[in-house]
Amino acid sequence: MLINLKDLGKRYNYEWIFRNLTYTFESGTSYAILGHNGSGKSTLLTIIAGHNLASEGKLDYTFAGKPVVADEVYRHLSLTAPYLEVVEEFTLLEMLDFHTRFKPLRQNLSTSGLIDRMGLQRSKNKFVKDFSSGMKQRLKLGLAIYSSSSMLLLDEPTTNLDQEGVAWYQEHVTQNKEGRLIIVGSNIQHEYSFCDQQLRISDYHVLPRK
Ligand SMILES: Nc1ncnc2c1ncn2[C@@H]1O[C@H](COP(=O)(O)OP(=O)(O)OP(=O)(O)O)[C@@H](O)[C@H]1O
């Protein structure tokens, strides 16, 4: 996957969040989008994911040398973000069966294989609504990291994780990054320490007129 941003800008009402963003993201590289709270990291990730529209500029996707239209980008990506919810009414096994009907897992991993990798063997028949917040985050990350996708977008990936959970995240994301395009929206070093490139969204803020 190759993503070309040309003079991209986003505003909400009259407020420009960023402007003049020209950048290229490519497979085989991991990127960190950095910036303080409210700087526009999630906004940029949602635009890249095709969930949100830019206000100006161009965004082009290319996969295996062919252009991909924005409506089809979802087929190539997996995403986790604090605002995305898992289905609380399902048990863990039901959640994985449901998810894999739409998105198969990487490298022919079985659902029970994924449960093992998430360390949730003892909870496979537990309802997701009864998971702790850290368990839910591990589930969201496990689904994103282990879904078959060339692009992995991770917004604040270690929210609700304890030290062991953070180590688990680092281990599994690095084991599954080869050949993929990974973009992490973060301001916490341990979430993006494996990334090769850093994009500071505040470099694209518009200075108020004097
Ligand atoms: N739907 C919306 N309507 C209006 N303003 C919005 C909307 N979504 C985000 N914003 C504004 O855009 C700016 C950037 O928000 P965004 O969530 O992208 O920042 P962030 O860098 O991800 O922040 P955080 O680190 O706190 O998650 C903020 O000023 C926010 O209030």
> Atom 8 of ligand 1 has which residue's CA nearest to it?
43
- Strand runs (DSSP E) across the chain, as ranges? 2-12, 15-26, 30-34, 56-63, 66-68, 77-80, 151-155, 181-186, 197-200
Sketch the domain layout of the chain as residue ranges.
2-204
DSSP code per residue over 189-207? HHHHTT-SEEEEGGGGPPP
> Atom 10 of ligand 1 has which residue's CA nearest to it?
12
Instruction: State the ipTM, two decimals.
Output: 0.97
12 lines ligand 1 (CB under 6 A): yes
Options 3.30.450.20, 3.30.1370.60, 1.20.140.10, 3.40.50.300; which CATH number does 2-204 get?
Answer: 3.40.50.300
38 lines ligand 1 (CB under 6 A): yes
Can you list the residues of the chain whose pLDDT is less than 70? 208-210
pLDDT (0 to 100) of residue 191: 98
> Atom 13 of ligand 1 has which residue's CA nearest to it?
38
Residues 44-65: tens digit of each pLDDT: 999 999 999 999 999 999 999 9
Enter the pTM of the model: 0.96
pLDDT (0 to 100) of residue 210: 56
43 lines ligand 1 (CB under 6 A): yes
Q: Among candidates 185, 181, 151, 140, which has minimal Cα distance to 42?
A: 185
pLDDT (0 to 100) of residue 140: 98
Q: How far is the CA of 17 from the centre of ligand 1 (A)?
A: 8
